[in-house]
Amino acid sequence: MHHTSVEQISPEGARRPAVSVIVPVFNGEAVIGRCLESLKAQTMRDMEILVVYKPGSDATLDRILAVNDPRVRVIGQNDDSGPGGARNMGLKAARGRYVGFVEADDMVDDNFYEALFRSAEAHDADVAVGEMWENGRPVTLHDGERAISGFAELMNRFVNGASFDKLFRLSTLRERGVRFSERARWEDNLFIVMTARFARSFVTVPGARYRYFPSPWSEGYRRRLERDAVTAVNEIADFARDERLSPEEVLALRGFVLRSFALSVWDDSAVYRTVKRRFGVPPRLAVRHYRKQAKRLWRDALKAVFKGVRHG
């Protein structure tokens, strides 16, 4: 099978930077400036910053244009392909040898991309993985620079479902057709599973810190995540089926799915049933699920009782 090279996809005559960073943003007026300033401050100077902007109801575009850096390119997203579509647009436009992703409300330490790039080059790794800090506290720390390969090993040992704390060799993504899901809000998870399947190796990079600042979930957004989790789990299961994974690899992938989906939106019965049907679940997690379901039913029953007392 013939694969199109990066050079053929890149604009004619364009110089390839070492790193492309993709920043999707929608209604991010309050945070996008801080994010882009952290990218401007990177010790890795040989990079481009691709801001995929979806028009909204605030002054996000003004904030982007106010950032005085010739490395910033703005790409308009005028469809409904969601955050996965925004990342795929960035991947198509990227010119770098490696590509990274940053959420509009997050930041990275000054040495983040230089450290990831140097480690990826030194180990000839397709993916370099930094450390994640959430609201100033460490979530993922590495005890050394270590190369890891093999799908089951990656799923079992350290792969999480996030794309933003990593740096990816762009040619590998393009040659193997790795893309983000445009059907579900869990768009990173399928991307990470595909990358782990096709990458030669990942390398951990201690001290390269991604600063994650999650926004609180509204009830409406949570319900959407629960609905989309069913779609996302099925997409991953279909990929696993097509790839004819070994029993060991399927078991490792099941663990990844449980960590990424079931324990995040466990109250939703449709998510539980989908995970159980496509991957199976250990008995202890089934017990935990039904206990949570019982607690929710009891809570709702009490609310109904007290509502009747107040309004009776």
Q: Which residues contact 190 (CB under 8 A, 6 or more apart)?
A: 180, 181, 232, 235, 236, 239
Show the domains of the chain with their CATH numbers: 6-212 (3.90.550.10), 222-311 (no CATH)
Q: Structure tokens of 6?
A: 């990066």
Distance CA 185, CA 271 (A): 14
Q: Identify the CA nearest to 190 among candidates 237, 226, 158.
A: 237
| Per-residue tens of pLDDT for the chain, all 312 residues | 332 222 323 344 467 999 999 999 999 999 999 999 999 999 999 999 999 999 999 999 999 999 989 999 999 999 989 999 999 999 999 999 999 999 999 999 999 999 999 999 999 999 999 999 999 999 899 999 999 999 999 998 866 789 999 999 999 999 999 999 999 888 999 999 999 999 999 999 999 999 999 887 777 887 888 888 889 999 999 999 999 999 999 999 998 988 887 666 666 778 888 888 888 888 777 777 777 777 777 776 766 665 555 444
Distance CA 186, CA 240 (A): 17
Q: Do the Cβ atoms of 72 and 20 come closer than 8 Å?
A: no
Q: Structure tokens of 292?
A: 């949570």
DSSP string, 188-239: HHHHHHHHHHH-S-EEEEEEEEEEE-PPPPPHHHHHHHHHHHHHHHHHHHHH
